[in-house]
């Protein structure tokens, strides 16, 4: 099973700041099969990025993704109030599909 480790576990920032979330993968995966999700309390996960760097429909361009091999990153260039949430990375290259443990983005 491929293990995804996100860092940091919690990120405390202010609106307007830049946020960077890391996802380290235990084995090399094809970047075409790495996704990022945002989840707010009481809501389903919302797809932000797929194929490492392609924004899903309706996702603003302040969100970007990058990476290859075993290291992937989600960046939010300038935080808006609605961006404070939990973020998950996912690999769907190999079965079983696995997720990182999540990164909570809090208001500082």
Partner 1 sequence: QMQLQESGPGLVRASETLSLTCIVSGDSVTNYHWSWFRQPPGKGLEWLGFISYSGGTNYNPSLKGRVTMSLDTSQNQFSLKMDSVAATDTAMYYCARNPYDWGQGTLVIVSS
User: Which of 7/18 has CB closer to partner 1?
Assistant: 7
Enter the tokens of residue 51. Answer: 């194929």
Question: Least distance in Å: CB of 20 to partner 1?
Answer: 20
Q: Which is nearer to partner 1, 39 or 70 (CB)?
A: 39
User: Kind and range of the H or E element at 64?
Assistant: strand 63-68
Minimum distance of partner 1 from residue 47's CB (angstroms): 5
Cα pseudo-dihedral 51, 13, 7, 4, rounded to 10: -40
Contacting residues toward partner 1, per CB under 8 A:
35, 37, 43-47, 50, 56, 88, 90, 92, 95-102
Least Å distance between CB 106 and partner 1? 16
CA gap 57, 74 in Å, rounded = 17
Of 42 and 81, CB closest to partner 1: 42
Taking alpha carbons only, the member of 18, 12, 21 closest to residue 71 is: 21
């Amino acid at each position: 099973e491929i293990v995804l480790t996100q860092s940091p576990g919690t990120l405390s920032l202010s609106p307007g700041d830049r946020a960077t979330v890391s996802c380290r993968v235990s084995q090399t995966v094809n970047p075409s099969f790495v996704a990022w999700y945002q989840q707010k309390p009481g809501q389903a996960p919302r797809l932000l990025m797929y194929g490492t760097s392609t924004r899903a429909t309706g996702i603003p361009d302040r969100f970007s993704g990058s990476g290859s091999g075993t290291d992937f990153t989600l960046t939010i260039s300038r935080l808006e109030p609605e961006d404070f949430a939990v973020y998950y990375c996912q690999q769907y290259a190999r079965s079983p599909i696995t997720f990182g443990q999540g990164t909570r983005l809090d208001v500082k």
